């Protein structure tokens, strides 16, 4: 049975354990852009497992069961968020993540369904006494987005710092870094690579590849139409977390929307082809567009062209080694 990052809460069933952790060696990649160093964390046992929690698996649709896109990669005590769709902080709380651990976030692109939780991520953990600024990585435009949020909330910030709350003066701050494809971040727990993906008329949209210290590799597509780069960057990943739409229902959409979705997003058949090339240990679907279709239909369409393991993630699903 395949070993890797497997769902332990959904669906119920046998979940094989990972192999023993690989030797922990941090290899600096030649020619990588100067990665950002994370502040020192308390020493943790190196065998701490990597977990992935799909905090929000939704789309712009206001589905009460699916928060906006947000995924947490958890290595020991360190948490790395990819996207911050609406609901991100409450889902993080539901997942048992500490507010003070919500300090690093990577944006795939600046569509509002992936960023509408940014003000929540900036302020809510701070109000709950996070003192470390939020380190925010994303495409060009990320800094302006963060500046705009801070400007919009300047009265709240002043009230909390200078009023009777006496809030700390650092935890609401944002260190925004506008990144280009390549290694964008590295610390003792993870190396993070961004890669460009085609998302319609967005000039800059990224997928991310996380390589954790225990050897686990997690690739998150962001929003993208089919591209050869995805299979290349996801090759051999433990988890490939990818967006998708149900092709049979897409075919019934009005021409305008067919064109839009074909240009901005990935069909079930195209994703199956990508997965067949990349051969991840587990393909995880999120940001799923069904247009009234059924999840079983989506899985059947994918399985028509891809025989590997595939699941549709739910909010708060945990993927780890089954331990
Ligand atoms: Zn989206
Ligand atoms: Zn998008």
The yes-or-no answer on residue 113 being catalytic is yes
Give the model's pLDDT for residue 252: 98
pTM score, whole prediction:
0.86
Q: Could you tell me the distance, in angstroms and rounded to a whole number, from the CA of residue 97 to the centre of ligand 2?
A: 26
Ligand nearest to the CA of 69: 1
How far, in Å, is the centroid of ligand 2 from the Cα of 115? 10
Kindly give the interhelix angle for 118-127 and 154-162, rounded to the nearest 10 degrees.
10
**Residues 26, 30, 35, 39, Cα dihedral to 10°:** 30
Is the torsion defined by CA of 28, 235, 320, 245 positive or negative? Answer: positive
- One digit per residue, the tens of pLDDT, for the chain of length 323 reads 344 555 544 333 333 233 222 222 222 222 233 444 444 444 444 446 899 999 999 999 999 999 999 999 999 999 999 999 999 999 999 999 999 999 999 999 999 999 999 999 999 999 999 999 999 999 999 999 999 999 999 999 999 999 999 999 999 999 999 999 999 999 999 999 999 999 999 999 999 999 999 999 999 999 999 988 999 999 999 999 999 999 999 999 999 999 999 999 999 999 999 999 999 999 999 999 999 999 999 999 999 999 999 999 999 999 996 43
Please tell me the total number of residues recorded for the chain in this structure: 323
Distance CA(209)–CA(205), nearest Å, equals 14
Residue 5 confidence (pLDDT): 58
Q: Give DSSP secondary structure letters for 53-117.
A: EEEE---SS--TTSPSSEEEEEETTEEEEE---TTHHHHHHHTT--GGG--EEE-S---HHHHTT
Measured from the alpha carbon of residue 206, the closest ligand is 2
> How many angstroms separate the Cα of 300 from the Cα of each of 179, 226, 280, 295?
37, 19, 18, 9
pLDDT for 6: 54
| Residue 46 CA to ligand 1 centre (angstroms) | 35
Q: What is the DSSP letter of 321?
A: S
Domain ranges across the chain? 6-10+50-320
Ligand 1 center from residue 76 Cα (angstroms): 29
What is the 284 CA–ligand 2 centroid distance (Å)? 18
Cα–Cα distance between 223 and 241 in angstroms, integer? 11
* pLDDT given at position 39: 47
Specify the CATH superfamily of domain 6-10+50-320. Answer: Ribonuclease Z/Hydroxyacylglutathione hydrolase-like (3.60.15.10)
Q: Which ligand is nearest to the CA of 202?
A: 2
Catalytic residue among 83, 113, 120, 238: 113
Q: Are 83 and 71 in contact (CB under 8 A)?
A: yes
């Amino acid at each position: 049975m395949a070993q890797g990052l497997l769902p332990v809460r959904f669906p119920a069933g046998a979940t094989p354990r990972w192999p023993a952790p690989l030797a922990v060696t941090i290899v600096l990649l030649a020619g990588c852009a100067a990665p950002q160093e994370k502040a020192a964390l308390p020493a943790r046992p190196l065998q701490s497992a990597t977990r992935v929690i799909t905090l929000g698996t939704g789309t712009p649709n206001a589905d009460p069961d699916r928060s906006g896109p947000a995924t947490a990669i958890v290595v020991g005590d360190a948490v790395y968020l990819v996207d911050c769709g609406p609901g991100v902080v409450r889902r993080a709380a539901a997942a048992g993540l500490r507010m003070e651990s919500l300090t690093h976030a990577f944006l795939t692109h600046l569509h509002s369904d992936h960023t509408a939780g940014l003000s929540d991520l900036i302020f809510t953990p701070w109000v709950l006494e996070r003192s470390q600024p939020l380190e925010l990585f994303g495409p060009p435009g990320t800094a302006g987005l963060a500046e705009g949020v801070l400007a919009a909330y300047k009265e709240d910030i002043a009230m909390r710092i200078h009023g009777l709350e006496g809030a700390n003066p650092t935890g609401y701050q944002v260190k925004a870094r506008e990144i280009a494809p390549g290694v964008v971040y590295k610390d003792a727990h993870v190396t993070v690579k961004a890669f460009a993906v085609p998302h319609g008329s967005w000039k800059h949209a990224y997928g991310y590849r996380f390589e954790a210290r225990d050897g686990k590799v997690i690739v998150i597509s962001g929003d993208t139409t089919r591209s050869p780069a995805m299979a290349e960057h996801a090759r051999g990943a433990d988890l490939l977390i990818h967006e998708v739409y149900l092709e049979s229902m897409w075919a019934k959409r009005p021409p305008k929307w067919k064109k839009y979705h074909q240009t901005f997003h990935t069909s079930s058949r195209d994703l199956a082809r990508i997965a067949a090339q990349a051969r991840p240990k587990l393909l995880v679907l999120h940001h799923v567009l069904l247009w009234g279709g059924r999840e079983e239909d989506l899985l059947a369409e994918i399985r028509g062209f891809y025989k590997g393991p595939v699941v549709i993630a739910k909010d708060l699903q945990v993927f780890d080694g089954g331990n």
